[in-house]
Amino acid sequence: MIKNRLFLDALEGKEVTRPPVWMMRQAGRYLPEFQEIKQKYDFFTRCRTPEIVAELTVQPIRRFGMDAAILFSDILVIPQAMNMPFEMRAGIGPWLDKPIQNKQDLERVEIPDVEESLKYVFDAVKATKELLNDEIPLIGFAGSPWTILCYCVQGQGSKTFDKAKEFCFTQPELAHQLLQKITDTTIAYLKAKVRAGVDVVQIFDSWGGMLSPVDYQIFSWQYIDQIIKALKDDVPVIAFAKGCYFALETMAQSDAKALGVDWTIPAKMAREMTAYKKTLQGNFDPARLLSPPQDIQKMVHQMINEFGKDNYIVNLGHGILPNIPLENVKAFVDSVKNYRS
């Protein structure tokens, strides 16, 4: 039985003494202990070594005591397992030598046996659960099919993902075939993660905001919704779509237990668009963690007051930046823990 159930209670819509707090990308680059390990092992070696994953996952918990841990991993482990051999290149980021461009490229994309090809992730979940010792819940995650497609077609990161959008708009049949393959693999992957021991899953639609409201429904949301429906009876699901405030009304009709919101939407508007019936997660601007600690405390308390302490999970509006001072992270987490309505 998990001792600190604040995060799980908030997902279930139960009344809480204060909202829970965790941060996207909390297991990462802003921590000096993370940097020490980074010097010794390349990125995907870190992702594929269960003992390293477990250590990186619990590092922020030891230091700051968040109410949930998120497994150190990457959204690109899924396309790697699907025969798209992504690598992480210095100064560039994700890189795929042969992006998906046509029918022939799509034919080489496999729906893998995830238990075999991604066994290292599930082993890492088990190793992490041992280290956490039932103190707090563990979050597993995956990228949305649209966000994965962006990388698979673009071949690397982009400010516009113009090639990915061109692929969808000029070859929609192929795009939907690829999106469905990613969706099927993601469902199998997340279900296996749940069997391995994760308590919650989050779907990251990092590039959903690249699409118009109409195209978002066509190329992204319908596939996220498939994943939510497939997982809803197994585990609570959080859906986070950056830059997609316009889809909140539709997302609120889904079986997701919580919806993440970024810093571009006011709390009141987010509550109104979701008809006050969903737990919301967010939405502190990650760059605002560069503010003085006393300002961070004031802003966090104001944010909680605006969202309300119940049906709410304190988080950032996107991942933590690598240049955030440790004392500012502590101020953020502590200001939630010290909150009293």
Binding-site residue set for substrate: 25-29, 44, 74, 151, 206, 318
Q: Which of 231, 218, 68 is nearest to 142 (CA)?
A: 231
Helix (H) / strand (E) containing 160? none
- H, E, C per residue of 179-198: HHHHHHHHHHHHHHHHHHCC
The pair phi, psi for residue 182, each rounded to 5°, is: -65, -40
CA separation (Å) from 162 to 123, 151, 169?
37, 11, 10
Non-local (6+) Cβ contacts of 249 within 8 A are 273, 274, 275
If one counts every other C-beta atom within 10 angstroms of the C-beta of residue 209, the result is 17
Could you give the CA distance from residue 198 to residue 54 in angstroms, rounded to a whole number? 13
Q: Which of 74, 75, 79, 83 is nearest to 45 (CA)?
A: 74
Q: Which of 19, 118, 165 is nearest to 6 (CA)?
A: 19
Which residues carry a binding-site annotation? 25-29, 44, 74, 151, 206, 318
CA separation (Å) from 140 to 105, 267, 303?
29, 26, 26
